[in-house]
């Protein structure tokens, strides 16, 4: 069979014949996502693509949120990586351990984990003007006419010494036999 030579360039709309994963530019440019690995950004793009299939299958939970099923084995196969790396990439994206782009819900023994793909856009609040803390209000004057007072004054001030320390005596070394040591 003769070798067939393929052209090196795309012509016209030939590039439109392929399917692409769409990775949002904000994952690359926004400072919030700078620490994410490129593999986890690619995985997020793959999860976004998988959401279109879930919408077609009408996979919605009780609150109307779209979820997907994408097992660790499928991720390993798609990204050509090991199980540990796939788990690490999911953890990078997860709400609990990572940046919060996905949320995983376990379904039980033998069932795949539901993955909720979250929005990557951040709704940043405009800076609020700083409010100066108000000084605490003085306590209201309260009259305690009906409160019984002690006849004994209570100690106040810095020279107060606790009763346990005040009356202690030093060790009486005269009564101890400190020079008596038995050698065997």
User: Tens of pLDDT along 78-131?
Assistant: 999 999 999 999 999 998 888 889 999 998 888 889 999 998 875 555 566 676
The reply to whether 86 falls in a domain is: yes
Residue 89: give the domain boundaries: 22-117
CATH number assigned to the domain comprising residue 30:
1.10.10
The reply to whether 157 falls in a domain is: no
The reply to whether 35 falls in a domain is: yes
The reply to whether 165 falls in a domain is: no
The reply to whether 17 falls in a domain is: no
Q: How many domains does the chain have?
A: 1
The reply to whether 122 falls in a domain is: no
The reply to whether 113 falls in a domain is: yes
The reply to whether 181 falls in a domain is: no
- Write the pLDDT tens digit of every residue in 9-50: 777 777 777 788 888 899 999 888 889 999 999 999 999 999
C-alpha triplet 76, 68, 64: angle, nearest 5°: 165
């Amino acid at each position: 069979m003769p070798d067939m030579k393929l052209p090196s360039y795309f012509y016209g709309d030939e590039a439109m014949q392929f399917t692409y994963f769409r990775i949002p530019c904000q994952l690359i440019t926004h400072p919030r996502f700078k620490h994410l690995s490129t593999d986890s950004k690619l995985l997020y793009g793959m999860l976004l693509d998988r959401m279109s299939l879930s919408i077609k299958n009408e996979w919605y939970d009780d609150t109307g949120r779209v979820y997907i099923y994408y097992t660790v084995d499928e991720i390993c196969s798609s990204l050509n990586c090991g199980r540990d790396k796939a788990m690490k990439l999911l953890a990078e994206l997860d709400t609990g351990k990572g940046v919060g782009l996905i949320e995983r819900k376990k379904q039980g023994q033998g069932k795949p984990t539901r993955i909720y793909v979250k929005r990557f856009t951040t709704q940043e609040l405009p800076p609020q003007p700083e409010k100066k803390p108000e000084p605490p209000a003085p306590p209201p004057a309260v009259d305690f006419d009906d409160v019984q007072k002690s006849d004994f004054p209570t100690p106040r001030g810095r020279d107060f010494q606790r009763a346990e320390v005040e009356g202690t005596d030093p060790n009486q070394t005269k009564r101890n036999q400190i020079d008596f040591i038995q050698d065997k």
